[in-house]
């Protein structure tokens, strides 16, 4: 495979929450992979910062263990792992006090890109930003990365934006939505704006509706306390699903540049109509079985028998502008569903007049953009069924599964986090959310959430391993449409 890896500039990257789950599962393994591929220079420095009292050697041991746990053995070449660990330092830090900040300052080198990754609870963001400023650790041009959740509603997101703005300019703030780092999400833009084929048809005149599904088989076990305060709407819809909706619905930006892209996404969010009560279904999963093992119900997982929080949501959304008037977007996401599948389905309209007999088997074209698993796209087209028997039609997929089309090159595509961290180091904000975008997303979801809270309605129940509550199927059926099967 021809390497197209372009090394980034030497950097100092501080991971606040360096011993936390996200650092162990995603950030550190991702950095190792980029290092192994030669994208991270040998002079880079990664500094774990956390509350635990330990030295660099002990931290490196933890990092080594995380690599072993979250990366396939074939990637763990001994000398590369050691070289990576040599790049790692540790600082015990008190995010809300005075301890550790001068140590951290001492580790910063001049002439290196500075990145501060806030992989901690959002309540700590402000205090960390303030101290980076107060102890004169962050230089001009330093970048901070803010993990989700970015606020819990419009008010908290606004407050967070204001706090960060006291110490950092918008061009220094990278709000992560890891869905934007997924290969296929970027491919959606490539397909829409790099071809002549789709864009002329990308409108209400030719598209019947769009479906966006992010289904998971996992439950919320282990994250119950956080999740029960969020629910699917805050955890998934306000960020990941809305970003997918924006990229699908936005107007072509004039350039593939941060503000050009983000301006267009923002216009979509601002064009979203308030969702009618009857156009939303909420659900909670019941106890069930996954792979032969009994699994608890949502209520048991969050240890709150009275919880009214949703682990599933399906909704019909309208983008009120010329392009999309009359073409609904159906969104659904849930835990403990039948399969793990994220995809965008663009269903085209039937031809305006059929010249074939009604029972010949003609059906509408569908473009299916799969984010995971089996990243790729297929477009169903109607053809004549081969052979004798008259004019019988069938639908066949024009399939572009990346793994098949690109072979070996597709098997090692960077994980979303790897790509996004490299973008931060390169100083490219295109795939990060701007402050006004996050606020606009909350401004749209807030009234929906508050009306649920005011009504104290219990979400519908659904079976583990299902496609969600019956009501979600009805949401489509009553419009004469159906969800695409949940199969990878
Ligand atoms: C996170 C949510 O942002 O995304 C999780 O907090 C969810 O609840 C996860 O499981 C899904 O990400 P992915 O990349 O596995 O689809």
**With 80 as the cut, is the pLDDT of residue 487 above it?**
no
Residue 360's φ and ψ, nearest 5 degrees, are -80, -10
315-341, pLDDT tens digit by residue? 999 999 999 999 999 999 999 999 999
339-388, pLDDT tens digit by residue? 999 999 999 999 888 888 777 777 899 999 999 888 888 899 888 888 88
Burial of 291 (0-12, 13-18, 19+ CB in 10 A): exposed
**Residue 411: per-residue pLDDT:** 58
245-266, pLDDT tens digit by residue? 999 999 999 999 999 999 999 9
**Residue 2: per-residue pLDDT:** 47
Task: Report the nearest-CA residue for atom 13 of ligand 1.
Answer: 179
What mean pLDDT, rounded, does the chain reach?
93
- Average pLDDT over every residue of 456-465: 95
Enter the pTM of the model. Answer: 0.94
**With 60 as the cut, is the pLDDT of residue 408 above it?**
no
**Residue 372: per-residue pLDDT:** 87
Positive/negative CA dihedral, 273, 276, 279, 281? positive
Q: How confident is the model at residue 404 (pLDDT cuts 50, 70, 90)?
A: low
Q: State which of 27, 122, 178, 433 you would mutate to test the pocket of ligand 1, scoring each by most atoms of that ligand within 8 A of its C-beta.
A: 178
Distance of CA 74 from the midpoint of ligand 1 (Å): 26
Distance of CA 178 from the midpoint of ligand 1 (Å): 8
**With 60 as the cut, is the pLDDT of residue 461 above it?**
yes
Distance of CA 365 from the midpoint of ligand 1 (Å): 30
Question: HEC profile for the chain?
Answer: CCCCCCCCCCEEEEEECCCCHHHHHHHHHHHHHHHHCCCCCCCCEEEEEECCCCCHHHHHHHHHHHHHHHCCHHHCCHHHHHHHHCCEEEEECCCCCCCCHHHHHHHCCCCCEEEEEECCCHHHHHHHHHHHHHCCCCCCCCEEEECCCCCCCHHHHHHHHHHHHHHCCHHHEEECCHHHHCHHHHHHHHHHHHCCCCHHHCCCCCEEEEEEEEECCCCCCCCHHHHHHHHHHHHHHHHHHHHHHHHHHCCCCCCCCHHHHHHHHHHHHHHECCCCHHHEEEEEECCEEECCEEECCHHHHCCCCCCCCCCEEEEEECECCCCCCCCCEEEEEECCECCCEEEEEEEECCCCCCCCCHHHCCCCCEEEEEEECCCEEEEEEEEECCCCCCCCEEEEEEEEEHHHHHCHHHHCCCCHHHHHHHHHHHCCCCCCECHHHHHHHHHHHHHHHHHHHHHCCCCEEECCCECCCHHHHHHHHCCCCCCCCCCC
**Residue 352: per-residue pLDDT:** 87
**With 70 as the cut, is the pLDDT of residue 406 above it?**
no
What does the alpha-carbon distance between residue 208 and residue 405 come to, in Å, rounded to a whole number?
A: 29
**Residue 355: per-residue pLDDT:** 86
110-168, pLDDT tens digit by residue? 999 999 999 999 899 999 999 999 999 999 999 999 998 899 999 999 999 999 999 99
Q: How confident is the model at residue 393 (pLDDT cuts 50, 70, 90)?
A: confident
**With 80 as the cut, is the pLDDT of residue 400 above it?**
no
Lowest mean pLDDT among 6-10, 87-91, 475-479: 6-10
Task: Report the nearest-CA residue for atom 15 of ligand 1.
Answer: 216
Residue carrying the six token digits 């990145």: 115
- Average pLDDT over every residue of 44-68: 97
**Residue 488: per-residue pLDDT:** 59
Q: State which of 179, 216, 241, 488 you would mutate to test the pocket of ligand 1, scoring each by most atoms of that ligand within 8 A of its C-beta.
A: 216
240 a catalytic residue: yes
Distance of CA 394 from the midpoint of ligand 1 (Å): 37
What does the alpha-carbon distance between residue 77 and residue 33 come to, in Å, rounded to a whole number?
A: 11
Q: Which domains does the chain have, with CATH numbers?
A: 11-147 (3.40.50.720), 180-414+434-477 (3.30.360.10)
**With 60 as the cut, is the pLDDT of residue 486 above it?**
yes
């Amino acid at each position: 495979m021809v390497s197209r890896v372009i090394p980034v500039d030497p950097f100092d990257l501080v991971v606040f929450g360096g011993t936390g789950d996200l650092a162990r599962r995603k950030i550190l393994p991702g950095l190792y992979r980029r290092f192994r591929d030669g994208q991270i220079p040998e002079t880079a420095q990664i500094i774990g910062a956390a509350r635990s009292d330990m030295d660099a050697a002990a931290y490196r041991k933890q990092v080594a263990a995380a690599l072993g746990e979250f990366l396939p053995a074939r990637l763990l070449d001994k000398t590369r792992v050691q070289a990576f660990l040599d790049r790692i330092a540790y600082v015990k830090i008190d995010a809300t006090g005075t301890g550790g900040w001068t140590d951290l300052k001492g580790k910063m080198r001049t002439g290196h890109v500075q990145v501060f990754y806030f992989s901690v609870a959002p309540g700590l963001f402000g205090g960390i930003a303030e101290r980076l400023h107060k102890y004169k650790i962050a230089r001009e041009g330093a970048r901070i990365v803010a993990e989700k959740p970015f606020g819990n509603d419009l008010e908290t997101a606004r407050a967070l934006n204001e706090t960060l703005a006291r110490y950092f300019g918008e061009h220094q703030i990278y709000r992560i939505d890891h869905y934007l780092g997924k290969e296929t999400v970027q491919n959606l833009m490539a397909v829409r704006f790099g071809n002549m084929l789709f864009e002329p048809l990308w409108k209400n005149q030719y598209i019947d509706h769009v479906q966006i599904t992010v289904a998971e088989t996992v439950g919320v076990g282990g994250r119950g306390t956080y999740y029960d305060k969020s629910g699917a709407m805050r955890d998934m819809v306000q960020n990941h699903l809305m970003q997918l909706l924006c990229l699908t619905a936005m107007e072509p930006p004039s350039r593939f540049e941060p503000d050009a892209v983000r301006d267009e996404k923002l216009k979509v969010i601002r064009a979203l109509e308030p969702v009618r009560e009857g156009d939303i279904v909420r659900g909670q999963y019941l106890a069930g079985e996954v792979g032969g093992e009994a699994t608890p119900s949502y209520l048991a997982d969050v240890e709150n028998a009275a919880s009214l929080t949703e682990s599933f949501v399906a909704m019909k959304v309208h983008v009120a502008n010329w392009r999309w008037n009359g073409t609904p977007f159906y969104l659904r996401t849930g835990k403990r569903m039948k399969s793990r599948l994220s995809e965008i389905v663009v269903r085209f309209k039937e031809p305006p007049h059929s010249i074939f007999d009604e029972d010949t088997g003609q059906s509408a074209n569908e473009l299916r953009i799969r984010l995971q698993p089996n990243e790729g796209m297929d477009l169903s087209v109607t053809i004549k069924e081969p052979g004798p028997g008259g004019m019988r039609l069938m639908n066949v997929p024009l399939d572009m599964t990346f793994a098949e089309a690109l072979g070996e090159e597709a098997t090692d595509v960077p994980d979303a986090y790897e790509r996004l961290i490299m973008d931060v180091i390169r100083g490219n904000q295109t795939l990060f959310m701007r402050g006004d975008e996050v606020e606009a997303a909350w401004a749209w979801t807030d009234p929906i959430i508050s009306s649920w809270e005011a009504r104290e309605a219990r979400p519908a129940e659904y079976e583990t391993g299902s496609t969600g509550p019956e009501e979600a199927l009805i949401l489509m059926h009553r419009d004469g449409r159906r969800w695409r099967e949940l199969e990878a």
